[in-house]
A = this chain, B = another copy of it.
């Protein structure tokens, strides 16, 4: 037991937690600077390349993950091949915690990413001794749920342009709390990914981009670099967008 901890300790990089994007968010945020090491030593830091899967739907949910950098996506693929991207995953997001013992979605890297990984059972055990962490897990779940409900509203009741406007605002919001620009949006995912997230086709997504661009609400520097020109109008367009 001590040996294991010792082995992991050897893994620590120079600034292993200090410069981590996830350090003061969600899961890790509830740990003090004095106790974060105990959490760190319990898990393992690692990286994943673009296109690789972090875990697959149906597979035993052995591990839970906290994202340090990069971007991933949670996806579900129907038996006929139709794909739905549930959400994009940003640094600081905690994923992989399930009710039953199997993942309910797959997780794939949009771009090269870093993460910390814990055995689910070990983290749950650890949480039992740390009341605030247990509560944090619940809060995380509820946050995810809130976003998921937004997504349902989008898919059920909005047209193509409204969906894209909402998605861009959502991206803006996520960039803000990652300490990045509010208006310079980085979209590393492909049009296909966005389409599968918004329940549309690539062509329709592309046309929606063109439309917003023509109406001067956004500017497309490159397909993956969008500048928000008229934030207020974009909100009106997305209509029911909530912070």
Chain A residues within CB distance 8 Å of chain B: 76, 78-80, 82-84, 86, 97-99, 104-105, 128, 131, 134-135, 137-139, 141-146, 148-149, 151-153, 155-158, 196-199, 239-240
Q: Evaluate contact between A156 and B155: CB separation under 8 angstroms.
A: yes
Q: Evaluate contact between A153 and B84: CB separation under 8 angstroms.
A: yes
Contact of A99 among B139, B158, B197 (CB under 8 A): B139
Contact of A104 among B84, B105, B146, B156 (CB under 8 A): B146
Residues of B within 8 A of A240 (CB): 76, 78-79
Complex CA–CA separation, A181 to B86 (angstroms): 32
Q: Evaluate contact between A78 and B134: CB separation under 8 angstroms.
A: no
Complex CA–CA separation, A142 to B96 (angstroms): 11
Quote the shortest CB–CB distance from A74 to chain B (angstroms): 8
Complex CA–CA separation, A199 to B156 (angstroms): 4
Q: Evaluate contact between B80 and A239: CB separation under 8 angstroms.
A: yes
Known A152-B86, A153-B76, A156-B155: A142·B142 in contact at CB below 8 Å: no
